[in-house]
Chain A
Amino acid sequence: MEQYDYSDIKPLPILTDQQDELCRIMYTEDYKQLMGLARALISVNELSARALQLTAQVIDVAPAFYTIWNYRFNITRHMMTESDDTVSYLNKELDWLDEVTLNNPKNYQIWSYRQSLLKLHPSPSFKRELPILKLMIDDDSKNYHVWSYRKWCCLFFNNFQHELAYTSKLIELDIYNNSAWTHRMFYWVNFKDVASEVELADELQYTMDKIQLVPQNISSWTYFRGFQELFHNKIQRESEVVQFATSFIASVLSLPIDLPQDLPEIESSYALEFLANHWSADPRTQDSAVKAYSLLAIKYDPIRKNLWHHKINKLN
């Protein structure tokens, strides 16, 4: 790390002069010195290499300090125009950001800063983003910011070619990874108008296979329903789908309901919920829907009984 001289800067105080300030933080001397310098530089809006270096130090100790991210962005935008090679200048900034990202997986500011850099970049590349995205997901496969940023990238670069395979791999590792399932839906929403019937049939089969593997999984069932809703005019396989869902509920619909303790266990309460929802839509099958909701309320998903009763009331 290059050494810069800041001796000409008089640090600004970072504490108020209130004697009995509420929730006053006992900053360390190092922190006071560093932040005091940063505030002094910000106050004169110095856009220099040493200012950039100082922001890196601040971000290292206080990554959530959003004011410094904004300052750094102003410096970068200015220095980029002064540099002979904008592209390599911004790439260097992205390299630095990768390091910070790895050390701060839960931080909010990193991702909007990254978006701002890519928007400045004359030739941004999705390929350059993929390794850091992969590392972050390997570390925490449900990191919300990372998944949301990945979607932003797909749209920004208009590139979706890696997405299905990528989510398949993650679902392979953890079939319950809801983030991966929703990312899959993101893919289909963006390919809604061009998806072929063969592709849709394959995807439906993929989902059914995953449900077969683990029937009591909210992620795959929600996806299964959402996918059919998205393509309701392109997928007409009602009886097959109903038959599939019915295979997980051990014929409980035909059993008397008055003795809950005698009812058999079923493989999936989500299958029952799926069927109840499906049957609600058609007046001819609404009696079955009411029965399915009643079964959920008394036996198979009782903590949600208020919702099931609400559904039954709507049907009556």
Chain B
Amino acid sequence: MRQRVGRSIARAKFINTALLGRKRPVMEKVVDLTDLDTSHTIQPLLKELETVTTEARHEVLQSVLEIYENGRNPDGPTLTKEFHKMYLDVAFEISLPPQMTALDASQPWMLYWIANSLKVMDKDWLSDGVKRKIVNKLFSISSSGGPFGGGPGQLPHLASTYAAINVLSLCDNIDGCWDRIDRRRIYEWLLSLKEPNGGFKTCLEVGEVDTRGIYCALSIAALLNILTDELTEGVLGYLKECQSYEGGFGSCPHVDEAHGGYTFCATASLAILRSLNVINVEKLLEWCSARQLQEERGFCGRSNKLVDGCYSFWVGASAAILEALGYGQCFDKNALREYILLCCQEKEQPGLRDKPGAHSDFYHTNYCLLGLAVTESLYTCASNDPPHKIKCIPNRQIVSSELTDVNPVYGLPTENVRRFIHYFDSGLPP
């Protein structure tokens, strides 16, 4: 039935667009943005064409600007931590409803998003009982200790293994769980995913090859201390080709459009390889900074696309990595913080969200919180230190939400990253 409905919608769209031509007429008009009734709108009278792009943005602007107008309270915006904790705790206490079946192939991701959100808000909010359950679940997905798939009986996948290793780092070696990770096996598997062009397949046989796969592979390998020259061969060349003329990075080395998610993957990968000097960093700074929108105050993921809370991390962390490595600060942290706290939270519904009007979910909760942590810290790194030693300093120009310090390369609390990597200091087992 579902399929039939989908088909008739597709057919209707086909008739509308392919047979009847344009989706909607293109009209030239001068839009006066001050009509939107905002005292702080800076944009003057602009010559604008009304298209799908401007239409979508104006809709978002209306709700965002309304929030900024009404949301001025004397204490400033605050993170409703306990409220969000409720949302996350419940997810770890009850079974998930059938509509969550859509995440059936992403089960380690759910564990990471939820556990990490709790940890970022308060380092003591992930209880030992929950850690044990996380470990049980992961090793029921892969009893051999990795690599991990999306659930029991599923093929190993780079993204699932990335999420699994991340969440294991949050479990503090409870019951010796870190010793159960089969690093040798994961290493051999990573090697088997390597492609001649320097990329990694997300999974054998049919899997995408893109910057996301590279980041997952490098992050797994760096955290487990199995990052060898053999594994990274050709990766730099691939990443270099993914920087587009825009300054950000795309998914594949063929002039793909620069995108926040892929830009983070490439930037963090280059940081792990300690090779940011091989790309055009100035252009990357410009691109990251251009993602912040004057009126919305948050980031969009691509040029002329809409603001979205998750890019607070994808773009914010890319910028934080550049800041840590001494390339300079390129965005307004206070403004981004306002977007996250005022537009990504809601009074009636716990959890964080993409933008006003959207529902909260685990993914946005995690990346909005990570982004918030980025705005409330300054980052530095000693010149010869690897990226897991990036230091967070409180950003004194900003009111603190008292979040756990976060490492922008790994999207995990700094302390957990350090302890995890240190545990595997001895290098690759024979």
Contact = CB atoms under 8 A, between A and B. Distances in A.
A152 B330 contact: no
B97 A102 contact: no
Given A67-B149, A222-B246, A144 B259 contact: yes
Contact of B335 (A22, A216, A226, A303): A303
B152 interface: yes
A139 B105 contact: no
Contact of B95 (A25, A39, A62): A25
Given A141-B52, A216-B46, A28 B98 contact: yes
A42 B330 CA distance: 50
A312 B111 CA distance: 45
A22 B3 contact: no
Contacts of A148: 250-252, 254, 256
Of listed B46, B245, B289, B330, residue having the most chain A CB within 10 A = B245
Given A218-B290, A302-B294, A306-B331, A24 B95 contact: yes
A307 B286 contact: yes
A147 B255 CA distance: 11
A65 B104 contact: yes
Nearest to B108: A23
Nearest to B327: A310
B27 interface: no
A265 B95 CA distance: 57
Nearest to B209: A112
A267 B47 contact: yes
Contacts of B157: 66
Interface string B286-309: 100110111001000011110000
B202 to A, nearest CB: 8
Nearest to A155: B254
A144 B251 contact: yes
Interface in A44-91: 60-62, 64-67, 69-70, 73-74
A239 to B, nearest CB: 23
Contacts of B292: 303-304
Contacts of B105: 62, 64-67
Nearest to B335: A303
Contacts of B49: 175-176, 213-214
Contact of A304 (B51, B154, B305, B331): B331
Contact of B6 (A31, A103, A113): A103
B150 A66 contact: yes
Q: Is the interface of A mostly helix, strand, loop or mixed?
A: helix
A12 interface: yes
B358 interface: no
B330 A306 contact: yes
A60 B6 CA distance: 10
Interface in B131-173: 133-134, 136-137, 140, 149-155, 157
Interface string B203-238: 111111100000000000000000000000000000
Contact of B114 (A23, A139, A174): A23
Contacts of A64: 102, 104-106
26 contacts: A16-B137, A16-B140, A16-B152, A18-B137, A20-B133, A22-B133, A22-B134, A25-B104, A62-B105, A70-B203, A70-B204, A103-B7, A116-B206, A139-B17, A152-B252, A176-B304, A178-B305, A189-B255, A215-B47, A216-B48, A226-B246, A229-B245, A265-B44, A265-B45, A306-B289, A310-B285
Given A62-B105, A141-B52, 18 more contacts: A21-B136, A23-B110, A25-B96, A66-B154, A67-B150, A67-B154, A69-B206, A70-B204, A135-B17, A147-B256, A151-B254, A173-B22, A177-B51, A185-B245, A222-B246, A226-B246, A267-B46, A303-B332
Sorted from nearest, which 6 A-B pairs have the closest CB atoms?
A: A226-B245, A265-B44, A138-B17, A176-B53, A103-B6, A186-B255
Interface of B: 2-3, 6-7, 10, 13-14, 17-18, 22-23, 26, 28, 42-49, 51-54, 91-92, 95-98, 100-107, 110-111, 114, 130, 133-134, 136-137, 140, 149-155, 157, 202-209, 244-246, 250-252, 254-259, 285-286, 289-290, 292-294, 297, 302-305, 328-332, 335
